[in-house]
Amino acid sequence: MSKETILKMLNHALELEHAAFIQYLSHAEIIDGENAEPIIARLKEIAEDEKKHQEQFRKLIGILGGIPSMSIAETHSAKNLKEILEQNLKDEKLAVDTYRKILEELKKEKTQGYYDYILEHEIRHILMDEQEHITELELLLGISGSSY
């Protein structure tokens, strides 16, 4: 594992979080109908979680001496509540898979000393948040028994 590889992976994760933040806020604005308010509020709360994740990834990139990316991963529009929930679920699963890959890379070869612990701890915390988002989105879609 090289520091450059980890920095590249962390910047990709940051770009995913940039996109998630924008997407959740945008999706919250197009939901309407009966009982929309609690879902809108929750999407905005999840957007704030994604914003915090951005800050955490920028911090980790800085610790390793990297430059945080200002790029944004691909975002996806949706036309209705079901599409919104399905798209965000898909994107949350992509984030979980990405963060698991980062953790796998960190385990291959510990080279950053104390920073390995910080990186692993922070990424595991973010991963748990994303898994919680998956569970919530699945519940809203009527899906039970997530494998994530």
Q: Domain 3-141 adopts which CATH fold?
A: Ferritin (1.20.1260)
The reported pTM is 0.92
Statement: residue 114 has pLDDT above 90: no
Say what the pLDDT of residue 109 is: 65
Other Cβ atoms less than 10 A from the Cβ of 111: the count is 12
- Angstrom distance (rounded) from CA 100 to CA 96: 6
Listed residue (49, 17, 72) closest to 128, CA to CA: 49
Note the pLDDT tens digit of each residue in 72-96.
Answer: 999 999 999 999 999 999 999 999 9
| Residue 3 pLDDT class (50, 70, 90 cuts) | confident
- Which ranges of the chain does DSSP label H, i.e. alpha helix? 3-30, 36-63, 81-108, 114-141
Say what the pLDDT of residue 117 is: 84
Domain boundaries, the chain: 3-141
| Residue 110 pLDDT class (50, 70, 90 cuts) | low
| Residue 143 pLDDT class (50, 70, 90 cuts) | confident
- Which ranges of 31-80 does DSSP label H, i.e. alpha helix? 36-63
**Mean pLDDT within 7-25:** 98
- Cα–chain-centroid distance for residue 10? 11
Q: Which range in 115-119, 136-140, 144-148 is most confidently predicted, on average pLDDT?
A: 136-140
